[in-house]
Structure 1
């Protein structure tokens, strides 16, 4: 029996190493990384390490990033879900193939991740961690019911002018905000 999660249009599955060939083209597409180009993958080893991080998150927290496929065609269209940051906050995140932007898939995927995270541990705050010029992601965070709780420099970003935003479902303690910003 599969432990896949289904939304209206997506089948969400835990990642496996065999997902590399479908995920690598998404992770290398400059259109997907418009808002943070220095994170764009240039080597399949980067994508494989990302898959392994997701798998560790599933093993340690009972939740992580899913591989998202269209239910009607089984095409891989991205990844996303919730991961635990610093043992203190759930971080909802997603990456959708540029060919599928603007169709609400990110919101659909993120909602599924939030539902699962709240079922596992509803007492942990939910956050979305994004850069200010990514207005599409900010719009998704707001549709998910998250509100802006932090705006500041994006430490470690090669572009010093970039501003980091943290949205959350509730006020954060300093320790929770610190976990979100690491």
Structure 2
């Protein structure tokens, strides 16, 4: 089943989304450029149970209220990780689309809190991604951890972990795996 926000239709990804998703990922800012990566994202299983009202990971398209009606704009959603936290993720096309990532993320956080109130909602991102940090803050997440991004080929990259509550040591360790 699909869900709708004010300007977005959120639906289960399909392999038909690969070309449009690849165009979004091919932007140098995203760090992902391969068609194979786009294919994995489109075919990745949902983060919620099949009985859910919509998939945990959704393709976001502009609906009739959006200036980008019918365009695949990216993906957004939540996935339960290690039964320890709910990972909030969003990646929209790099062209200016004010508020759309926040709109999608607000819907995702609300659903995560409804489905798994026992788990913290977490967004982890690199420190230089200021736009993503603004979205995390706008949806009620707070910076809880900042440290070098272990394993990143660029040793100067810093990883930020935002969450809707304080994280236990085990929850933080799970987000950093």
Q: Same fold (TM over 0.5)?
A: yes
Corresponding pairs, count = 171
**1:99 partner SS:** coil
Instruction: Look up the SS of the partner of 1:92 in the other structure.
Output: strand
Q: Secondary structure at the match of 1:151?
A: strand
Q: Secondary structure at the match of 1:57?
A: coil
Give the structure 2 partner of residue 140 of structure 1.
135
* Structure 1 position 80, deviation (Å): 0.8
User: Which of these residues, 83, 88, 104, is aligned with residue 79 of structure 2?
Assistant: 83
Structure 1 segment 1-182 matched on structure 2, within 5 A: 3-31=1-29, 33=30, 37=31, 40-42=32-34, 44-53=35-44, 55-58=45-48, 63-72=55-64, 73-101=69-97, 103-182=98-177
Q: Which runs of 5+ in 2 are unaligned?
A: none
Runs of 4+ in 1 over 6 A off after TM superposition: none
TM-score of the aligned structures, taking structure 2 as reference length: 0.90
- Long gaps (5+) in structure 1: none
Does the aligned pair in 1 maintain the 2:46–2:79 contact within 8 Å? no
TM-score relative to the length of structure 1: 0.87
C-alpha distance 45-59 of structure 1, shift in aligned 2 (>3 A): farther
Contact kept, 8 Å, 2:77 with 2:89, in 1: the verdict is yes
Query: What root-mean-square deviation, in Å, do the aligned CA atoms of Structure 1 and Structure 2 show?
Result: 1.7
